[in-house]
Structure 1
Amino acid sequence: MGATIARAEQRCAREGARLTPLRREVLEIIASGHEAVGAYDIIERMGTAGDRPAPITVYRALDFLRARGLVHKVESRNAFIVCTQDHAHAQRSLLLICDVCGLVAEREAAGVFDAVEGCARAADFTVNRPIIEVNGTCAQCATAS
């Protein structure tokens, strides 16, 4: 988690943005595991030390983190994971999602995205957020069955 926070601090400093204590806490909660975390789960975890923040406050922190490429939204789960790749946020991301344990792993997949973007160009379509989610079973869950 330390590397995630250090990368966030560096990126914010480069961009002249501020990683406030609340934004940092949201990022730390997301980085604390390998499963996607929903906004209301984040609020619940933040509330263990006292008053819970308003949902809009957490959503604003999430928007800030997404805009800086520090987290990805897993659309199919309406939840968030830490960006583990060293790329600009508009870059391509492949998310592998385990249906058994909820693990979400981010991988590079240049060939896949080249094909997707080629199909999009052929259809005169502009790709804005090339993120692909693939559901399946992780190796640990496959061997446990």
Structure 2
Amino acid sequence: MSSTGVLVTDECRNAYNSLKLSKAFRYIVFKISDDYKEVVVESTGDRSATYEDFLSALTPNEVRYAVVDFEFETVEGRRNAILFTLYADDSAPIRKRMDYASSKDALRRALTGIALDIQASEKKDLEYDLVLAKFSNGLAIR
């Protein structure tokens, strides 16, 4: 439970485990339910989805949580790491941005194995090359 009383559903944990362990999804977008009682899965991208598909799944003028199985190349070969993001569009209502920010830790704690956590106020904050630069700290990227 978060400070706002929002619960993380088993659906969220199960979907995340399917992304992390089974590689069933490329990304998962989460939202707080309309009654503000729980975090639920809004959408998923199957394994063939691209990073651009993930960015397209983020709703303009809204706030969402998301996890992405982020793929990139290193000198050792192809790598994957899990990205968690709180996407809080600058044009979303302030109250909604505050509610999501205060509930973020509950979801974040429920999802183990996150490699990188980014807060974005617009989609350009999540451009592939910017995220890659954050992942590349200490890695030899091609």
State the TM-score, normalizing by the size of structure 2.
Answer: 0.30
> Of the two, which has the highest radius of gyration?
1
Question: Which of the pair is proportionally richer in strand?
Answer: 2
- Higher relative CO (Cα under 8 Å, sequence separation at least 6) belongs to 2
Question: Which of the pair is proportionally richer in helix?
Answer: 1
State the TM-score, normalizing by the size of structure 1.
Answer: 0.30
